[in-house]
Copies of this chain bind each other. A is one copy, B any other.
C-alpha cells in the first residue's frame, strides 16, 4: 500500500465523520464532548490528519449510533468518490 492510499483513507474518514456530524446537527465541540476527545482532535480527524485508533473509531461510530463496520463502509465510499474525482481531472 502506498502513501497515496494511506492519505486517501484518512481523508475519506474525515469526510465521513464530517458528513455524519453535520447531518446530525452536532458541532465539533458537541461531538468531542460525546466521545471524550478534544475539539481540536475532531478537527484534525475531519481534515484527514489523524491515524485514528480502533478504540477512537468505536467511540466516534458510537456517537453516531453506527457500528464501526458501517462507518468504515462509508469511509470506503468516500475514498471511491475521491478516486473518481481525481481520475476525472483533466490531464
Q: Could you tell me which A residues sit within 8 Å of B by CB distance?
A: 1, 5-6, 9-10, 13, 51-55, 57-59, 62, 67-70, 72-73, 75-76
How many copies, total? 2
CB proximity of A80 to chain B, nearest CB, Å: 11
CB proximity of A18 to chain B, nearest CB, Å: 16
CB <8 Å contact, B76 and A1? no
CB <8 Å contact, A54 and B1? no
List residues of chain B with CB within 8 A of the CB of A62: 1
CB <8 Å contact, A1 and B59? yes
CB <8 Å contact, B53 and A51? yes
CB <8 Å contact, A68 and B58? no
